[in-house]
Copies of this chain bind each other. A is one copy, B any other.
Protein backbone atom coordinates (compact mmCIF):
# COMPACT_ATOMS: atom_id res chain seq x y z
CA UNK A 1 0.00 0.00 0.00
CA UNK A 2 1.09 3.51 -0.73
CA UNK A 3 1.86 5.23 2.58
CA UNK A 4 0.96 8.70 1.40
CA UNK A 5 -2.56 7.59 0.57
CA UNK A 6 -2.86 5.80 3.90
CA UNK A 7 -1.82 8.94 5.76
CA UNK A 8 -4.30 11.11 3.86
CA UNK A 9 -7.09 8.62 4.47
CA UNK A 10 -6.27 8.54 8.18
CA UNK A 11 -6.38 12.31 8.32
CA UNK A 12 -9.79 12.07 6.65
CA UNK A 13 -10.98 9.53 9.22
CA UNK A 14 -9.64 11.61 12.08
CA UNK A 15 -11.52 14.66 10.81
CA UNK A 16 -8.36 16.58 9.99
CA UNK A 17 -9.45 16.65 6.36
CA UNK A 18 -12.88 16.61 4.75
CA UNK A 19 -13.61 14.38 1.73
CA UNK A 20 -13.01 17.04 -0.88
CA UNK A 21 -9.66 18.08 0.61
CA UNK A 22 -8.63 14.44 0.84
CA UNK A 23 -9.56 13.77 -2.79
CA UNK A 24 -7.60 16.84 -3.82
CA UNK A 25 -4.56 15.71 -1.86
CA UNK A 26 -4.69 12.25 -3.40
CA UNK A 27 -5.01 13.69 -6.86
CA UNK A 28 -2.09 16.00 -6.18
CA UNK A 29 0.04 13.07 -5.24
CA UNK A 30 -0.88 11.13 -8.35
CA UNK A 31 -1.56 13.54 -11.13
CA UNK A 32 1.04 16.19 -10.63
CA UNK A 33 0.01 18.97 -12.93
CA UNK A 34 2.95 21.11 -13.75
CA UNK A 35 3.26 23.39 -16.72
CA UNK A 36 5.57 21.20 -18.71
CA UNK A 37 5.42 17.82 -16.98
CA UNK A 38 2.76 15.22 -16.39
CA UNK A 39 4.37 13.07 -13.78
CA UNK A 40 3.03 9.58 -14.03
CA UNK A 41 2.71 8.76 -10.36
CA UNK A 42 0.45 5.83 -11.08
CA UNK A 43 3.30 4.02 -12.74
CA UNK A 44 4.59 2.52 -9.52
CA UNK A 45 1.23 0.95 -8.83
CA UNK A 46 0.75 -0.22 -12.38
CA UNK A 47 4.19 -1.53 -13.29
CA UNK A 48 5.82 -2.05 -9.93
CA UNK A 49 8.50 0.62 -10.20
CA UNK A 50 8.95 4.35 -9.69
CA UNK A 51 8.97 7.27 -12.11
CA UNK A 52 12.39 7.75 -13.62
CA UNK A 53 13.62 11.04 -15.06
CA UNK A 54 15.76 10.77 -18.17
CA UNK A 55 18.23 13.62 -17.69
CA UNK A 56 20.12 13.52 -20.98
CA UNK A 57 17.57 15.35 -23.11
CA UNK A 58 16.42 17.80 -20.45
CA UNK A 59 17.93 21.23 -19.98
CA UNK A 60 19.33 22.34 -16.66
CA UNK A 61 16.28 24.57 -16.29
CA UNK A 62 13.88 21.71 -16.88
CA UNK A 63 15.80 19.51 -14.47
CA UNK A 64 15.72 22.23 -11.80
CA UNK A 65 11.96 22.66 -12.17
CA UNK A 66 11.18 18.98 -12.00
CA UNK A 67 13.52 18.29 -9.06
CA UNK A 68 12.08 21.23 -7.14
CA UNK A 69 8.59 19.92 -7.80
CA UNK A 70 9.47 16.46 -6.53
CA UNK A 71 11.15 17.82 -3.42
CA UNK A 72 8.18 20.10 -2.65
CA UNK A 73 5.70 17.26 -3.09
CA UNK A 74 7.94 15.03 -0.97
CA UNK A 75 8.05 12.35 -3.68
CA UNK A 76 10.85 9.95 -4.57
CA UNK A 77 12.65 10.32 -7.90
CA UNK A 78 15.55 8.63 -9.65
CA UNK A 79 17.33 10.47 -12.46
CA UNK A 80 19.74 9.01 -15.06
CA UNK A 81 21.81 10.32 -17.96
CA UNK A 82 23.48 13.21 -16.13
CA UNK A 83 26.85 14.39 -17.36
CA UNK A 84 29.41 16.00 -15.07
CA UNK A 85 28.36 19.53 -16.04
CA UNK A 86 24.74 18.93 -15.04
CA UNK A 87 25.79 17.22 -11.84
CA UNK A 88 28.04 20.19 -10.96
CA UNK A 89 25.25 22.69 -11.50
CA UNK A 90 22.55 20.69 -9.76
CA UNK A 91 24.78 19.83 -6.80
CA UNK A 92 25.12 23.50 -5.95
CA UNK A 93 21.36 23.89 -5.65
CA UNK A 94 20.21 20.49 -4.39
CA UNK A 95 23.36 18.98 -2.87
CA UNK A 96 21.86 18.66 0.58
CA UNK A 97 18.68 16.88 -0.50
CA UNK A 98 19.77 14.84 -3.49
CA UNK A 99 22.54 12.24 -3.85
CA UNK A 100 24.51 12.45 -7.09
CA UNK A 101 26.69 9.63 -8.48
CA UNK A 102 29.24 10.66 -11.09
CA UNK A 103 30.40 7.15 -12.03
CA UNK A 104 26.91 6.21 -13.21
CA UNK A 105 25.58 9.70 -14.06
CA UNK A 106 22.57 9.35 -11.75
CA UNK A 107 20.80 11.19 -8.94
CA UNK A 108 18.20 10.22 -6.33
CA UNK A 109 16.58 11.67 -3.21
CA UNK A 110 16.14 8.51 -1.14
CA UNK A 111 18.12 5.67 0.43
CA UNK A 112 18.65 2.42 -1.43
CA UNK A 113 15.77 0.10 -0.58
CA UNK A 114 16.64 -3.22 1.02
CA UNK A 115 17.28 -5.99 -1.47
CA UNK A 116 13.83 -7.40 -2.30
CA UNK A 117 14.75 -10.44 -4.40
CA UNK A 118 16.87 -13.57 -3.88
CA UNK A 119 17.75 -13.69 -7.56
CA UNK A 120 20.71 -11.65 -8.82
CA UNK A 121 21.93 -10.04 -12.02
CA UNK A 122 25.43 -10.36 -13.50
CA UNK A 123 26.69 -7.32 -15.47
CA UNK A 124 29.64 -7.95 -17.81
CA UNK A 125 31.54 -5.43 -19.97
CA UNK A 126 33.92 -6.17 -22.82
CA UNK A 127 36.22 -3.21 -22.15
CA UNK A 128 37.04 -0.72 -19.43
CA UNK A 129 35.63 2.10 -21.60
CA UNK A 130 32.17 0.50 -21.25
CA UNK A 131 32.23 0.95 -17.47
CA UNK A 132 29.85 3.92 -17.17
CA UNK A 133 27.02 2.02 -18.86
CA UNK A 134 27.56 -0.87 -16.45
CA UNK A 135 27.46 1.45 -13.43
CA UNK A 136 24.19 3.00 -14.66
CA UNK A 137 22.67 -0.48 -14.90
CA UNK A 138 24.04 -1.46 -11.47
CA UNK A 139 22.77 1.72 -9.80
CA UNK A 140 19.34 1.28 -11.36
CA UNK A 141 19.09 -2.27 -10.07
CA UNK A 142 20.12 -1.21 -6.55
CA UNK A 143 17.41 1.45 -6.60
CA UNK A 144 14.92 -1.25 -7.60
CA UNK A 145 16.05 -3.56 -4.78
CA UNK A 146 17.87 -6.04 -7.00
CA UNK A 147 21.34 -7.34 -6.12
CA UNK A 148 23.89 -7.33 -8.93
CA UNK A 149 27.59 -7.90 -9.52
CA UNK A 150 29.67 -6.13 -12.18
CA UNK A 151 32.56 -7.69 -14.17
CA UNK A 152 34.52 -5.14 -16.18
CA UNK A 153 36.98 -5.61 -19.08
CA UNK A 154 36.47 -9.31 -19.81
CA UNK A 155 36.11 -9.16 -23.61
CA UNK A 156 36.91 -11.75 -26.25
CA UNK A 157 40.28 -10.46 -27.50
CA UNK A 158 41.82 -12.22 -24.51
CA UNK A 159 39.19 -14.89 -24.10
CA UNK A 160 40.95 -16.58 -21.18
CA UNK A 161 40.03 -13.57 -19.05
CA UNK A 162 36.44 -14.37 -19.73
CA UNK A 163 36.61 -18.07 -18.90
CA UNK A 164 38.01 -17.22 -15.45
CA UNK A 165 34.57 -15.95 -14.45
CA UNK A 166 32.51 -18.77 -15.95
CA UNK A 167 31.53 -20.43 -12.70
CA UNK A 168 30.62 -17.14 -11.11
CA UNK A 169 28.44 -16.04 -14.03
CA UNK A 170 26.43 -19.28 -13.95
CA UNK A 171 24.96 -18.30 -10.58
CA UNK A 172 23.15 -15.15 -11.74
CA UNK A 173 19.53 -15.41 -12.89
CA UNK A 174 19.92 -12.76 -15.59
CA UNK A 175 23.04 -11.61 -17.48
CA UNK A 176 23.54 -8.09 -18.87
CA UNK A 177 26.32 -8.08 -21.49
CA UNK A 178 27.75 -4.66 -22.39
CA UNK A 179 30.11 -4.20 -25.35
CA UNK A 180 31.13 -1.59 -27.93
CA UNK A 181 33.28 -1.96 -31.06
CA UNK A 182 32.29 -5.30 -32.68
CA UNK A 183 30.10 -6.46 -29.77
CA UNK A 184 31.30 -10.06 -30.04
CA UNK A 185 31.06 -10.75 -26.31
CA UNK A 186 27.31 -11.33 -26.36
CA UNK A 187 27.66 -14.14 -28.90
CA UNK A 188 30.23 -15.92 -26.78
CA UNK A 189 28.17 -15.49 -23.58
CA UNK A 190 24.98 -16.48 -25.39
CA UNK A 191 26.59 -19.66 -26.67
CA UNK A 192 27.79 -20.71 -23.21
CA UNK A 193 25.03 -19.71 -20.77
CA UNK A 194 21.34 -20.69 -20.65
CA UNK A 195 20.03 -17.65 -18.75
CA UNK A 196 18.10 -14.67 -20.12
CA UNK A 197 20.71 -12.38 -21.70
CA UNK A 198 20.18 -8.66 -22.26
CA UNK A 199 22.84 -7.19 -24.57
CA UNK A 200 23.73 -3.47 -24.43
CA UNK A 201 25.73 -2.03 -27.32
CA UNK A 202 27.90 0.96 -26.41
CA UNK A 203 29.21 3.89 -28.40
CA UNK A 204 32.80 2.90 -27.59
CA UNK A 205 34.91 2.64 -30.74
CA UNK A 206 35.49 4.82 -33.80
CA UNK A 207 35.14 4.65 -37.59
CA UNK A 208 33.21 1.52 -38.48
CA UNK A 209 31.95 1.12 -34.90
CA UNK A 210 29.39 3.68 -36.13
CA UNK A 211 28.83 5.21 -32.70
CA UNK A 212 27.42 1.93 -31.39
CA UNK A 213 25.37 0.81 -34.38
CA UNK A 214 27.84 -1.91 -35.33
CA UNK A 215 27.66 -3.68 -31.93
CA UNK A 216 23.89 -3.05 -31.94
CA UNK A 217 23.44 -4.76 -35.29
CA UNK A 218 25.95 -7.47 -34.40
CA UNK A 219 24.10 -8.30 -31.18
CA UNK A 220 20.76 -8.42 -32.98
CA UNK A 221 22.15 -10.81 -35.62
CA UNK A 222 24.13 -12.89 -33.17
CA UNK A 223 24.64 -16.56 -34.02
CA UNK A 224 23.73 -17.36 -30.40
CA UNK A 225 19.98 -17.85 -29.94
CA UNK A 226 17.56 -15.91 -27.76
CA UNK A 227 19.68 -12.84 -27.00
CA UNK A 228 17.67 -9.62 -26.62
CA UNK A 229 18.99 -6.11 -27.11
CA UNK A 230 18.33 -2.56 -25.86
CA UNK A 231 19.33 0.87 -27.24
CA UNK A 232 22.94 2.05 -27.47
CA UNK A 233 24.50 2.95 -24.07
CA UNK A 234 21.13 2.20 -22.42
CA UNK A 235 22.31 0.73 -19.12
CA UNK A 236 19.12 1.94 -17.48
CA UNK A 237 16.92 0.13 -20.00
CA UNK A 238 18.86 -3.10 -19.57
CA UNK A 239 18.39 -2.89 -15.80
CA UNK A 240 14.65 -2.26 -16.25
CA UNK A 241 14.40 -5.28 -18.55
CA UNK A 242 16.27 -7.41 -15.98
CA UNK A 243 13.91 -6.10 -13.31
CA UNK A 244 10.88 -7.09 -15.39
CA UNK A 245 12.25 -10.65 -15.46
CA UNK A 246 13.28 -10.87 -11.80
CA UNK A 247 9.96 -9.31 -10.86
CA UNK A 248 7.87 -11.89 -12.76
CA UNK A 249 9.37 -14.79 -10.83
CA UNK A 250 6.87 -16.42 -8.38
CA UNK A 251 9.21 -15.63 -5.52
CA UNK A 252 9.08 -11.96 -6.42
CA UNK A 253 5.33 -11.88 -6.57
CA UNK A 254 5.07 -13.38 -3.12
CA UNK A 255 7.74 -11.25 -1.54
CA UNK A 256 6.58 -7.77 -2.40
Contact = CB atoms under 8 A, between A and B. Distances in A.
A183 interface: yes
B197 A208 contact: no
Contact of A191 (B156, B193, B232, B250): B156
A224 interface: yes
A57 interface: yes
A128 B46 CA distance: 22
Interface in A151-168: 152-161
Contacts of A221: 181-182, 205-209, 214, 231
Contacts of A226: 237, 239-241, 243-244
Number of copies: 8
Contact of A225 (B173, B240, B245): B240
B197 A244 contact: yes
Contacts of A184: 156, 182-184, 187-188, 218, 222-223
A183 B180 CA distance: 14
A191 B131 contact: no
A233 to B, nearest CB: 6
Contacts of A188: 156, 159, 184, 188
Contact of A129 (B58, B214, B250): B58
A160 B191 CA distance: 10
Nearest to A54: B129
B37 A223 contact: no
Interface of A: 35-38, 40, 42-43, 46-49, 52, 56-58, 62, 66, 126-129, 131, 152-161, 173-174, 180-184, 187-188, 190-198, 203-210, 212, 214-234, 236-237, 239-241, 243-245, 247-251
